[in-house]
Chain A
Amino acid sequence: MFLTFLVLALFSSPANADNWAVKTGTLTFKANHFFKNVVGVSKEPRGLIRCEKKKCDVLVAVKLDSFDSENSSRDTHMRETMKAGEHPIVEVRAETKSLSTGSRKNKATVKLAGLEHIYVLNLQIAKKADGYRVTTNVPFKLSDFMLDAPSLLGTAIEDLVPVDVVLEFAPKAD
């Protein structure tokens, strides 16, 4: 009996991780200028949450050319401003202890235009029938990534360009 237990303990495999992938989601930025407010939306975010041993690692990414403000000329200029040619994808990485529902603050590292900046995000996590819904707002600033603000008639857009994030995660098969 003791030997059986010992053999099982020595040769048992580690517990499998829980994996969650983005099923659908939107990222919406709002740029404010004296003459006009601009809204751009991406419906193509991708993400993964990998939970193991009371720790969850998160990676969410989106291609800069997936943002649409209903003006292709302006969107092309946005890509130039964000240096999308050299860094086509913006990444958000975070660690969290669990996927417990409710509100909480969590640090996240945003990587854009070759630079990284840490934000403290207010996360809202809700349980859905087949996964989780995560919403937050990223207080993104152009100056955090040393980006030149576009301007018109000598007036630049506001440095703060908040991004609303809504992501639906579903279980990911290994």
Chain B
Amino acid sequence: MIKSIIRQTLSLTLILGIMLATTPQSFAEEQASTPKKKEVNDLDLKDLGYSSKEIKANPEKQKELDTRAKKLKTHQIMGLVTVGLMTATALTAEHNKVPAAHKTLGIASGVSYFTTAYFSLSAPEADKKGKDAWNVKAHKALAFLHFPLMILTPIAGLTAEKQIERGQSLHGLAKHKETLGIASVLSVAAAASLMVIDF
């Protein structure tokens, strides 16, 4: 009995001695040569398969997004101002007369209109991952109508002013000034409305 206990104790001591002699070094070697096992709490985006490029910040991209947002916000505000000015211009028009208010408002409308166009045309493009909504497509398409109208209408207005000053009856492009003016207001107002109804 006692011999058995002594034998088991010696065997155990031998095993423990071998472990203490070899384990620390082998443990250190293992730590040096193999990557540390991830802790459960250290879940990382790379564990989900995202690449460094996908995770990485892109300040230039953010700057572009910010610029786009600011320019389109200004375009939105200027668009509404333009509709207001154009409506006031139309309301101050008189037959065979060129009221000062009408002329002033007309000039202001033109400046406002082209400023509005500048902020839209100079804004960075949207990411083309998705598609344009129907109202955005229609808003852009209406530009092909109101842009030429906003060139023709002031020309018609100036021509009409000269003919009235000479005492002539309106003819040529000047004869259609009223129609061109109303078409301009309605097309710009329609374009603005589309962006309010479904934004």
Contacts and interface: CB of A to CB of B under 8 A. Distances in A.
Interface string A70-87: 111111110111011111
Chief secondary structure at chain A's binding surface: mixed
Interface string A10-47: 10000001000000000000000101100000000011
The bracket for how many chain B residues form the interface is: 35 or more
Contacts of A95: 41
Chief secondary structure at chain B's binding surface: helix
A70 B57 CA distance: 26
Q: Which 6 A/B pairs are nearest by Cβ-Cβ distance? A: A85-B62, A85-B61, A80-B65, A72-B130, A71-B133, A59-B43
A77 B72 contact: yes
Nearest to B126: A76
Interface stretch (B47-55, B145-153, B162-170): B47-55
A14 B12 CA distance: 23
A63 B58 contact: no
Given A75-B126, A88-B56, 14 more contacts: A2-B8, A3-B12, A3-B15, A10-B19, A46-B49, A50-B43, A57-B43, A59-B47, A70-B133, A88-B54, A89-B45, A89-B50, A95-B41, A152-B199
Contacts of B64: 85
Nearest to B56: A88
Contacts of A36: 197-199
Interface residues of A, number: 45
Contacts of A86: 57-59, 62
Contacts of B49: 46
Contacts of A76: 65, 68, 126-127
A48 B72 contact: no
B130 A68 contact: yes
Contact of A85 (B58, B76, B131): B58
B69 interface: yes
A6 interface: yes
A41 B120 CA distance: 27
Contact of B69 (A6, A33, A48, A77): A77
A36 B196 CA distance: 9
B71 to A, nearest CB: 11
